[in-house]
Chain A
Amino acid sequence: MDKQLDFEQVGKRMPYNVPDGFFDQLEQNVMAEVKADDTATEKPKQKARTVKMAIRTILAAAAAVALFFVVTKNLPTSESQTDTFEFVELAYNNLSTEDQEFLMEVYEEDEFINDNNAEYYDEDI
């Protein structure tokens, strides 16, 4: 005899169950994995930032050196260090305000140059 299955009688019951507290544990496991993911992706960002800073410092140092040579290349050969600094100062004064600001900015922000200067002055003292 063909019977009709009463789906309403069965409802959504299933022959499956889960351990107590399983769904809370599932959520904790997922959130822990997701947070571990976040931590792992932060490290390369930090490395990338460090590399960018290093590149910026090297470029700044190179720019400062290049500007120094540009400023001094047409100066006559000086006989003393004092004369050289005077010529450099004169040449610096002849630069445009924009170039002067750039040069000062590079000098002030460049840790490499400033560290070397600090050591130089320390040795002098």
Chain B
Amino acid sequence: MADDKGIIVAIRENPERGFRLLMASYKEPVYWHIRRLVVSHADAQDAAQEAFVRMFRNFQQYNEANSFKAWIFRIATNEALRLLGKLKNSTMLSLDEVTADMLGTKTDEHFDSSDAITMKLQQAILHLPAKQQLAFNLRYYDEMSYEEIAEVAGSTAASMKVSYNIAKEKIIAYMNNND
């Protein structure tokens, strides 16, 4: 699988071939990141597809001084927020508005309720304020650095580190109090 620099070079030389490399590396992480935010499979599918199309259309706007992975996840995050905003008949939700929306029931046939501990963990994450939720998901599931997480969230690395640690404490407390 190509690394980020290889993908960027490939897109510049041959956009279609380069973009296939990008999709090979990122289609699963981007989908799962969006899925954790929007919960339902159908919504995640729509948002992921739109996010990748936006990446292709806006590749010229990517600044190489920043992390390519963070750029990709920022577009994916924005697309998830845009979709949730559309579902609520508004243009785009703020991070904190999204949190409340995500608490609604959004389960479908692509939801496995048999694994109790993972279900509970997702419930705990969905109870977090959006910034903490984003910090936890990107650190725990996507293993991003705090600098990269800050680029995705439009914040600072120090702030995202605090958000992650608070999120982790809250999740532990939630798991202990909801046996």
Chain A positions within 8 Å of B, measured between CB atoms, are 2-5, 7, 9-10, 12-19, 22-23, 26-27, 29-31, 33-35, 37
Contacts and interface: CB of A to CB of B under 8 A. Distances in A.
Interface in B24-49: 24, 27-28, 31-32, 35-36, 39, 41, 45, 48-49
A16 to B, nearest CB: 6
B162 to A, nearest CB: 19
Closest 10 CB pairs of A and B: A30-B52, A15-B119, A5-B172, A13-B118, A5-B175, A15-B118, A27-B23, A34-B56, A15-B112, A17-B110
A27 B27 contact: yes
Interface in B12-71: 16, 19-20, 23-24, 27-28, 31-32, 35-36, 39, 41, 45, 48-49, 52-53, 56-57
Given A15-B119, A16-B36, A30-B52, 17 more contacts: A3-B176, A7-B140, A10-B121, A12-B140, A14-B32, A14-B118, A16-B35, A18-B41, A18-B110, A26-B31, A30-B56, A31-B19, A31-B20, A31-B23, A33-B49, A34-B53, A37-B53
Contacts of B56: 30, 34, 37
* Chain B, interface residues (CB within 8 Å), range: 35 or more
A15 to B, nearest CB: 4
Contacts of A22: 45
